[in-house]
Amino acid sequence: MKYFLSIAFLFLFSFPAYGQSCNYSVLFDEVPPSGILSFFSFADSGSFRVVKSGTNCSDVYRFSTGTPWITVSNSITLSDSGFYLIKENTGTEPRSGLIHYINYSNQTNGVVLIYQDANTCPVTLSEQNISPGGNGASGTINVTADASCKWSARKIADWITLNPSVEQTGSGSISYSVAPNNGVQRGATIKINGQRFNVNQANGCTFTPSATSANFEAGGANGGFTISTNGGCSWQAVPNSEWITVNLGSNWSGSGTVGYTVAANTTSTARTGTITVAGQTFTVNQEAGTITPTCIYSFDPKLIPASGGAIDYGITKSDPDCQIVVRGGFSNPAWVHGYTADANEGARRSGFVYFVVGSFPGVPPSLANGSPQVLVYQASGCVFTPSQISEAIAATGGDRTFTISANGGCQWEAVSQNDWITINLGSSWSGSGTVGYTVAANATGAARTGTITAGGETFTVNQASALFKSRKKIRFF
């Protein structure tokens, strides 16, 4: 019996459309050297598609078959895929059939011959899939079959070699060798009595840049370099720094050029960026910019103590040579004198202090460069002195007063710490003033002590206990 080789590939039928400037191609996925689609006796399937080139091309192709053991898609649109199914051949003779195709709008037509082996004995493969790397690989397929079973291996891909390639009987083995892959990922199938051994080889593309780095001045510029690789090998260029823009080669197939733009460096520091191309790194080095630094000032003033003295404005300068002075005599509070403050004998106070600055390092301060203002605070210097610190009150209670001496503007309030003492004068005050309070009668039977807080000072109220007369009668015998 003669066996035709077959493998997953493209079988191309090409023809011009009648009376039109259009070429059609019918592409089948099984390509025999003889021009016949050849199958083992087992059920199988395949696919096809129609592609066009030129103009005035009709969109629909119709497919049919008069062969009962072949099923085919009735019609497909251009560039779409169709399919065909081959039923198992259980007979003792090989058989053949036809697939017809036609485009009625332009009267283009053709046929494809399908050949199928007679009933083939089944075999079992030791494995069914391999995925060799781009460098290629070799190995052995062990075939298990009945002692009288004849089998052979079929392949069409020229990058796969089989040894031996002749028909064998009974269990045995066949060696294969997969050549190195210099292009994109590829796949093929080895068929052994209808069993498929799939070979999916990884990408073997290599990418060689014409340069690995470039240097630029601070002003920036356009740059470029080339990538050499095999046709069909896809790659892209991706910048890893925001100041580098890729404007050519963001997506490419085969050899090509990467074009990029380097922005001006407006900093005082040299910088390095990268472009990643097909897993490789291209380095971009750029000089520092020539920049005259602008003086920047910040302030974090500290609370001035009530005792006055030196003022800490918390001044931070962007450069040690940036100059700054207090703008004397301009809307400064009277108690501030440049970098010192008077003592405060009153309440907490605040005021704005104005400065004159230099705009660049070494430039003397000038109003033309700005006059920042800083808000400063000074702690309270208030002292509150009570006229007395305690009072003795009879059990019957009553109203009492005491005074608080303080400078004008010093605010204070009197707060009772006990519910039997009520503040009726001086609950809120500024400067010197009087605290008036009422002590309720003591009905507890025991002396008690309470307090009033005024201006941070404690005033103590001591109240005597009530005297009770005994009502118990004394009887004499």
Tens-of-pLDDT digits for all 477 residues of the chain? 333 333 333 344 444 444 445 666 667 765 554 557 878 888 888 887 776 666 566 667 788 888 999 999 877 766 567 888 989 888 878 899 988 877 766 666 778 888 888 878 889 999 999 999 888 899 999 999 999 998 888 877 888 999 987 789 999 999 999 998 888 788 888 888 878 899 998 888 888 999 999 999 999 999 999 999 888 788 899 999 999 999 987 778 889 999 999 999 988 899 999 999 988 999 999 999 877 778 899 999 999 999 999 999 999 998 888 999 988 766 678 899 889 999 998 888 999 999 999 888 888 888 887 788 899 999 998 999 999 999 999 999 999 999 999 988 899 999 999 999 999 987 778 889 999 999 999 988 899 999 999 988 999 999 999 865 545 555 554
Tell me the Ramachandran region of residue 19: left when phi exceeds 0, alpha when psi lies from -120 to 50, beta otherwise. Answer: left
Residue 468 lies in a domain: no
Claim to verify: residue 166 and residue 219 sit in the same structural domain: no
**CATH code, 63:** 2.60.40.10
DSSP 3-state of 82: strand
Question: Does residue 422 sit in helix, strand or coil?
Answer: strand
- Are 140 and 82 in the same domain? no
Note whether 393 and 425 are same-domain residues.
yes
19 shares its domain with 93: yes
| C-beta of residue 163 within 8 angstroms of C-beta of residue 170 | no
Given 264, 286, 308, the domain boundary residue is 286
Listed residues 84, 116, 148: the one ending a domain: 116
Count up the domains in the chain and report the number.
5
Instruction: Output the DSSP codes for 111-127.
Output: EEEEEEPSP----EES-
Inside any domain, residue 291? no
- Residues 409 and 373 placed together within one structural domain of the fold: no
Check: CB of residue 125 under 8 Å from CB of residue 93.
Answer: no
Are 160 and 213 part of one and the same domain? no
* 477 within domain boundaries: no
Q: Round to whole Å and give the CA distance between 231 and 229.
A: 7
Q: Does some domain include residue 59? A: yes
Same domain (yes/no): 13, 111: yes
259 and 182: one domain? no
**Is the residue at 338 inside a domain?**
yes
315 and 374 assigned to the same domain? yes
Q: Does the residue 292 lie in any domain?
A: no
Taking the whole predicted model, whether its pTM rises above 0.85 is answered as no
CA distance readout (Å), 138 to 132, 135, 141, 160, 180: 9, 11, 10, 9, 11
Domain residue limits at 65: 8-116
Cβ neighbours of residue 388 closer than 8 Å, sequence gap 6 or more: 402, 459
Query: Is the domain of 26 the same as that of 80?
Result: yes
Classify 263 as helix, strand or coil.
coil
C-beta of residue 233 within 8 angstroms of C-beta of residue 181 = no
CB 69 within 8 A of CB 51: no
Identify the domain boundary among 68, 85, 116.
116
**Spatial CB neighbours of 104, under 8 Å, sequence gap ≥ 6:** 62
- One domain, residues 438 and 390: yes
| 110 plus 22 within the same structural domain | yes
Site of tokens 């003889």 = 34
Q: Is residue 189 part of a domain?
A: yes
Residue 35 inside a domain? The answer is: yes
